Chains A and B, each alone.
Chain A
Amino acid sequence: EAQVTQNPRYLITVTGKKLTVTCSQNMNHEYMSWYRQDPGLGLRQIYYSMNVEVTDKGDVPEGYKVSRKEKRNFPLILESPSPNQTSLYFCASSPRTGGSYEQYFGPGTRLTVT
């Protein structure tokens, strides 16, 4: 089944403790992206990647890092999480050639930083 998976789905952590949220897709998509969703602010793009080793900032990149060493994986790294990073996070992937470029979203990761 074609899908985007995220792990963990739920995470409670403390300020300053480094964490990684993994994202993987099995559709051979070139494009992957991370979003956060907060009440009243909608979905905001954090980082995106056009292909392996190619990443760029979205609208709210501060406090986050990403890497794209393999096509299928796009982990989101919080080196020193803070309470304002408490949010619902979504990973998405999309083809960039020969199609309609619709994005496929993962199920979400609910992160709480205390």
Chain B
Amino acid sequence: QIQLVQSGPELKKPGESVKISCKASGYTFTDYAMHWVKQAPGKGLKWMGWINTYTGKPTYADDFKGRFVFSLEASASTANLQISNLKNEDTATYFCARLMGDYWGQGVMVTVSS
């Protein structure tokens, strides 16, 4: 069956970096785009962007240009999200999602605190 399994929770200090992974299984990874969605505690969903899993080309929403990088390890059917120079407002759950067909990772809680 199709699954997206994300890495575990992270606790970081401001200014540090974090890399979150999203491993896909049950389908051909390069056939479908992977999207990233942010949800701050008690808040709504915010679309961060997507990556073309065939070409590796990322597209970022305006609020996520600069410190956010989407990447792939296509041979491992894995998409990654790296956030650099972490800020308190990056504290959130980050979901990967294959929107076509509605498959979501379980979410990764990233906490940024000094």
A binds B: no
- Which residues of A pack against B, CB within 8 Å? none
